[in-house]
Amino acid sequence: MSSGAAGGDPSFSPSTGFRYDGLFRVVDHWRADGKDGFRIWRFRLVSLDNVDRPPAREETGTAPRIPAVIQRLVRSSALALEVKRLYEYRCQICDIRLETPAGPYAEAVYVRPLGRPHNGPDSFNNILCLCPNHNVLFDAGGIWIGEYLEVFDTATGRQVGTVRMAAEHGIAWGHLAYRASLLT
């Protein structure tokens, strides 16, 4: 719909009231700078009455979508947040704190994974606060944590650090032993 009151092109805008042009499909969108310098969104619309096929996926760059049903574990975000706050969003291995426009960022990592076949508990003594790099290294088996909270490089077997622990927080040894057993 368009309104003549908006001051549009008279060939497209009636002098009074609104004009209905039918239904449209959004086939592309992009961000641009408006006349006043503000960021705006632009859309390419194609009438649903149009007999042309929508642009091929290669043209729009969008990935195909398929419906799916997913089951996921519902973990306690309150526990994860409590651990992150305890360490002030600093990685327990490298002490890095990532700052984003939305605020500090860290990841709550389960030592013994929650899902099958691990069935780890969603508990305070099973969560570490890590940066994304150490999270990936830990989850992928690139590093492991020893009995005295030493961090070892899996490839070389050398100690590469130590996990910082707050007095109010402890990791259950059984979870560390379980995680280490996954590497053998």
Low-confidence ranges of the chain (pLDDT < 50): 1-4
Q: What integer pLDDT is reported at residue 65 of this predicted model?
A: 81
Q: What integer pLDDT is reported at residue 88 of this predicted model?
A: 97
- Number of domains forming the structure of the chain: 2
Q: What integer pLDDT is reported at residue 37 of this predicted model?
A: 81
Query: 150 and 88, same structural domain?
Result: yes
pLDDT mean across residues, the chain: 86
Q: State the residue range of the domain holding 42.
A: 2-60
CA distance 125 to 155: 27
Q: What integer pLDDT is reported at residue 2 of this predicted model?
A: 41
Q: What integer pLDDT is reported at residue 20 of this predicted model?
A: 74
Q: What integer pLDDT is reported at residue 3 of this predicted model?
A: 41
Q: What integer pLDDT is reported at residue 148 of this predicted model?
A: 92
CA 95 to chain centre: 21
Q: What integer pLDDT is reported at residue 4 of this predicted model?
A: 41
Query: 148 and 120, same structural domain?
Result: yes
pTM over 0.75: no
Does residue 162 belong to any structural domain of this protein? yes
CA distance 34 to 43: 13
